[in-house]
Amino acid sequence: MRGRGAVAVTTVVLAGIVPGADVALGDQQVSTELAYSCAFPGGARTVKVGVGARFPDRAAAGAAIRPAEVSTSVTLPDAAVAELTKLRAARTGATTRLTTEVAQNGATAQALWQGAAPSVPLAATGGATLKATGEVSTITANSPGDLTMTAAALTLDFSPVTAEGAATDPATLSVTCTLTPGESALLAKVPVTTAGSSPTPTPSTSATDPPTGGPRQPSPSAPNVVPPKTQGAPPATAPACRGDTTNPLALAAYTTGYSNVSKMAEASLIPVFCAKVVQGPSQLKRIEVRPGVFELHLLQTSVGRLDHQGRAQTPPGPATLLTFGFMPTTATMTLEETGPMIIDSDLNNTAGHGETYIRIPLTLRISDVKVNGTPLDVGPNCRTNGSLYSDDPVPAKNTKDHVVLLGRLKKGTDTVWRGYSLSRGGPLDGSVTIPPFTGCGVGEDLSPLFTASVSGPANTVKQNQGAPCASGIPDDPAKLCTPDKQPTNVPLPLR
């Protein structure tokens, strides 16, 4: 099977999401509130969703339309908050994924609006409101006629944490939502004129592709949900990530994300990093789950590695922590791979769900330390005394010497698969323990200082991997590779 695989790894610093500033503002200001029924574990809950955006008042055929200032405000009732506090959650952030239907002249396409909402406190009464912002796709109308954008399915990925800052169990809660019958979900109508007759300029940049691996291919007459402008070359913020062109199973993907380090008091941006994978063979297996009842599973094991300027590591990234509980300390953190990355995928087509486990041994190195702005010489070998590790769900593999990330895929009642898969990328979650530090300091041992400030369990992780470039395959209809076989899809960090 010629699939497009993907990979993501974990980091131990936080990142912030900032809406794109390079947009073309229009004259339509949209603000609407919709009612959704969300399938929480305890039952359906009615959730109010406010959607805000700006659109051009008109556009020309062939010109890109990009919604600007997009926000999604999710108001949870007490019953929905109780679903989270049952997990001992004191706060939660969320990622929102709103599917919008784009229609013109009877033809349709879909565009995904994805955003990230900062963490908010949870209380027994009063509900909770999470406001998500983020980049969205551009749309190009192929012919004159009114183009409409309508809200459709919504997915909420919550990332709850306890009052101590530890991960809940489970570490994330994904909820699918459907519009309440009778809701008017029209977001905007943009008149499209023949090319040359519209005064609206074409936006200078495109938005980020949806993390599902790119837009659905519409029919020739349908509006096009266009990929980002970065197709021709990776953005300046992304490192080089050239894949192997000699192996038809070779892949390259960009990844970024968040990790809530329980002992850190500040957030640090994770630089976008590169991972390379060689897919293993796919195996179709018929598994008997009970006497006479069988399920059909598609299994695959792949091997990957990080790559930063030829080294198996992430790019160095800034981080801030509090030493002694109050002293502001800045440092550069790097994750170094000490063994192969193993990716195990299991797609249960019968039951309609899939799981991908990514296992990778990673050592954390600290350098360029400053305390209150004064350099602190930690030497060249300040690092954890072993790999960061997770509790592995497979007992035989629970050796506490590697990180485990889990990506989930689920088929909805509308038969659409949503979540993470090797073919599209998406979110992965995990929880890691950071071991004690060693080798820190010149002339004096500073390792206990960093052990006290950083090391410990229950550091929650959420990574977002972009759609991969299948570098060993010449055919690239989805434009996921640059001409020199680097990924064009650079994902946004998720909370």
* 13, pLDDT greater than 50: no
All structural domains of the chain, each given as residue ranges with its CATH number in brackets, are 28-204 (2.60.40), 231-465 (no CATH)
Euclidean distance between CA atoms 263 and 265, whole angstroms: 7
* 440, pLDDT greater than 90: yes
Euclidean distance between CA atoms 157 and 72, whole angstroms: 13
* 491, pLDDT greater than 60: yes
Note the helical H segments in 189-283.
none
* 107, pLDDT greater than 50: yes
List, for residues 369-387, the tens digit of each pLDDT value.
988 788 999 999 999 999 9
* 432, pLDDT greater than 70: yes
Cis amide prior to 160 (ω within 30 degrees): no
Q: What is the DSSP letter of 352?
A: T
- The pLDDT > 70 percentage for the chain reads 81
* 2, pLDDT greater than 50: no
* 221, pLDDT greater than 60: no
* Model pLDDT, residue 249: 92
Confidence band (pLDDT; 50, 70, 90) for 71?
Answer: confident
As a whole number, the mean pLDDT across the chain is 80
* Model pLDDT, residue 207: 34
* Largest Cα span, the chain: 74
SS3 of residue 217 by DSSP = coil
* 227, pLDDT greater than 50: no
* 260, pLDDT greater than 80: no
Confidence band (pLDDT; 50, 70, 90) for 106?
Answer: confident
pTM surpassing 0.75?
no
The predicted model gives 352-373 an average pLDDT of: 92
